[in-house]
Amino acid sequence: MKKTNNQKITIGLPLMHLECGEKRSFLPDFVRTLEKCDADVYLEHGYGVRMGLEDSAYSEITSRITFVSGREAYRQDIVLVLRCPSDNDLRNLRAGSCLISMLHYATQPERVRFLRSLGVNSISLDSIKDDSGRRLIENFHAVAWNGLEAAFRVLQGTYPKPGFFSPDRQPIQITLLGVGALGAHTVKAAVRYGSIPLHERLARENVPGVIVTAVDYDITNHADIMLGLLSKTDILVDTSARLDTTRAIIPNEWLAYLPDHAVILDLSVDPYQQIQGDNYTKGIEGIPQGNLDQYIFTPDDPIYAKIPGFVHTEHHRNVVSCYSWPGIHPKDCMQVYGPQLRPIMRMLLSRGGLNGIDPNGRYFERAIGRALLSNWIG
């Protein structure tokens, strides 16, 4: 796919037909950038409605937008959609077209195979990285802050006497699994209770703060050390990025050592999967997977019965888990992704599409090159 000056590139922006709580769409300002780069833009009818944006919010800023059906949006040269669409939607892609989405090649081998079978190329947003390996399209900040905000809300209800808001309580103990980029954001959010107003209020009232104890996952081979930590933990957070996702970091039986009031916060959101005889598990075994419709689970939530049978689920605690943490505040989220994606789209469109991208070329070309399905080995 490389267009000449006379042929305009077409870009489709379909809606994400996922859980009801998924409201995100790219904002009009970002869509205008695509149009300014001389692309013809096709939005699915009702694009933005879930965020309170009528079609007119888009058509008023530029005349070169066409509203089409979802199927038609998928039939364009480039299709941009934040979360990976369902297989049914993906089947609408034209061979030779380019899908841009959070595709997570490393943890989704089935998806990689499927996209290849469709003859499409893709740019995985989570793989667009600069020369030093830093992700250019990410919202770790929102993952950490939104997750911690929810976890502390739950802890306020479960914390034993003298109570969460008491100046006489001990500092909140957070045990953090994983110390990568997401873990780093988590430390900052955690010591501020995931909420600046709450942080300021408790500091004013001289309530003891938060101590984060971070452990890399190699230390979890030492059960005695981990069980000692777990027994003193108020919030257990998983931000790990495991190389081997068939092995949990915290086996379910260890959850028995957590105090009853403890909250488990799942920021890694690795899925439970069975692929070709292998069982893939979450970092903390036996906790449910949440989404934007439900991300808070009490120990007696019926969802535990739906966890795949190969997973041990005997020990429960309050769990906070969401597949799409940034989506909790959809507009804030898209105000981050839009500007991050803008120079990438400018580069892609100025080069006439994917075939004009030189993976050894300029800064943003190199970043795109690292995210191409055609360059993915696996």
Binding-site ranges for another protein (CB under 8 A): 131-132, 171, 179-180, 183-185, 187-188, 191-192, 199, 202-203, 208-216, 218-219, 222, 225, 229, 336, 339, 342-343, 346, 362-363
**Cβ nearer to another protein, comparing 157 with 180:** 180
Least distance between another protein and beta carbon 162 (Å): 16
Least distance between another protein and beta carbon 146 (Å): 17
Map tokens 């595709």 to a residue.
Answer: 103
Least distance between another protein and beta carbon 175 (Å): 9
Residue 3 has a CB neighbour count (10 Å cut-off) of: 18
**Cβ nearer to another protein, comparing 200 with 314:** 200
Map tokens 């699994």 to a residue.
Answer: 177
**Cβ nearer to another protein, comparing 68 with 172:** 172
Please list, in sequence order, all residues whose beta carbon lies within 8 angstroms of the beta carbon of residue 145, skipping any fewer than 6 positions away: 185, 189, 194, 195
**Cβ nearer to another protein, comparing 79 with 136:** 136
Please list, in sequence order, all residues whose beta carbon lies within 8 angstroms of the beta carbon of residue 345, skipping any fewer than 6 positions away: 33, 34, 37, 80
**Cβ nearer to another protein, comparing 132 with 360:** 132
Range list of β-strands (E), the chain? 10-13, 40-44, 65-68, 78-83, 98-102, 121-124, 172-177, 210-215, 235-238, 263-266, 273-275, 278-280, 296-297, 318-321
β-bridge pairing 121-124 and 98-102: parallel
**Cβ nearer to another protein, comparing 64 with 135:** 135
SS3 256: helix
Please list, in sequence order, all residues whose beta carbon lies within 8 angstroms of the beta carbon of residue 333, skipping any fewer than 6 positions away: 24, 139, 142, 326, 327
Least distance between another protein and beta carbon 55 (Å): 27
Least distance between another protein and beta carbon 241 (Å): 12
Would you say 305 and 339 are in contact if contact means Cβ atoms under 8 Å apart? no
Least distance between another protein and beta carbon 38 (Å): 16
Least distance between another protein and beta carbon 339 (Å): 5
Least distance between another protein and beta carbon 229 (Å): 7
In degrees and rounded to multiples of 5, residue 160 shows phi and psi of -75, 175
Q: Give the separation between CA 258 and CA 17, rounded to whole angstroms.
A: 37
Would you say 165 and 202 are in contact if contact means Cβ atoms under 8 Å apart? yes
**Cβ nearer to another protein, comparing 94 with 342:** 342
**Cβ nearer to another protein, comparing 131 with 278:** 131
**Cβ nearer to another protein, comparing 72 with 332:** 332
CA angle 14, 17, 22 (to 5 degrees): 105
Would you say 267 and 239 are in contact if contact means Cβ atoms under 8 Å apart? yes
For residue 185, give the nearest of 140, 240, 133, 127 by alpha carbon. 140
Least distance between another protein and beta carbon 131 (Å): 5
Please list, in sequence order, all residues whose beta carbon lies within 8 angstroms of the beta carbon of residue 265, skipping any fewer than 6 positions away: 147, 148, 150, 151, 235, 236, 237, 238, 319, 320, 321
